[in-house]
Structure 1
Amino acid sequence: MVSATSNLLGMYPGVANDAGYSYPGVQEWPNGYIPIAIHTINQFYDYTLNPNRECKRLDEIMNLIEQTPEYLNNTDKNKAFLDKLSSIVGINVVLSNISKIADVLNSEVCGF
């Protein structure tokens, strides 16, 4: 919601001479701020912008990937690293979920 509001503020800035027309002309109102309705839907129904949405087909494909020789070989080669990482972060880290750890570490390095 905050990102959507910020984007809309950048795309549709109000102008000072719209006070009283596009937005309230009162002292307390932020100069030029025009509220724009942002409509959302429940995450359960959001197929487009919800990367964590449950998807049976994706689960099937991931299960097939996790059975490939390449996946199993890479898991075996990196077992010690994955085990150590799992003990540090407190979840079972496997190749298919390691990106979650990488995203957090990247944010830490960048200072977010």
Structure 2
Amino acid sequence: MKLTTSNRKRFRVSNKVKKNAPKDRLRLCISRSAKNISAQIIDDKKNMTLLSASSNEKDIKTSTKVNKSELSKIVAEKLAKKAQEKKITKIFFDRGIYKYHGRVKIFAETLRKNGMDF
């Protein structure tokens, strides 16, 4: 079966990150579209999603209109707050097919400011 270019890139990046990451950390997987951004904290040992945050959630959508960069900051702050409630601080960042630039970079920096270690 032939894989698309984006799937090959996603597998390549994810596998490199998984090999080099410490085994005691959880994975933060990010995905974005033209309008929205979402992220999940995943436990690869149990194959479970522990936490997630998205710009499609009701409380974020009903807030005032903001640009996409501000939306990334809001979602990152919400995810960091959920992670602190579950006492998750050490993660590794799986950027997927996206470059560490723009909204993805803003998302990661906001998580670091809110106490996440990666």
TM range (shorter): under 0.3
How does the TM-score come out when normalised to structure 2? 0.24
How does the TM-score come out when normalised to structure 1? 0.25
**If each structure's helix is expressed as a fraction of its own residues, which one has the higher value?**
1
**If each structure's strand is expressed as a fraction of its own residues, which one has the higher value?**
2
